[in-house]
Amino acid sequence: MTVEASFKILNRLGLHARPAALFVKTCRKFKSKIVIFKGDRMADAKNILQVLALDVNQGDEIKVVIEGEDEKEAYMEIENLIKKVLPEVDRG
């Protein structure tokens, strides 16, 4: 089975520098394959250079596709990261 979800990036810095590193670090905790899409471009969510190359900014919509044995857990943690943790990083 595969889990797919779209998210609007809320945090001011998008997926650049520290937020991108946190995103990749979170994705690397899981065995599942995780890919993110911005428009027609895609990146391995566990590869910092690919994530940075997507140039994801505040207000952009990304699609996350997760496939593997721990996909549900990965989805829940990624959703929490994008909706709650990264916006808090902006305030810190």
C-alpha dihedral over 22, 25, 31, 34, to 10 degrees? Answer: 50
For the question of residue 92 being annotated catalytic, the response is no
Phi first, then psi, for residue 75 (nearest 5°) are -60, -50
Of the residues 16, 33, 50, 73, only one is catalytic, namely 16
Residue 53's nearest CA partner among 65, 69, 36, 70 is 36
| CB count in 10 Å sphere of residue 15 | 29
Active-site positions read 16
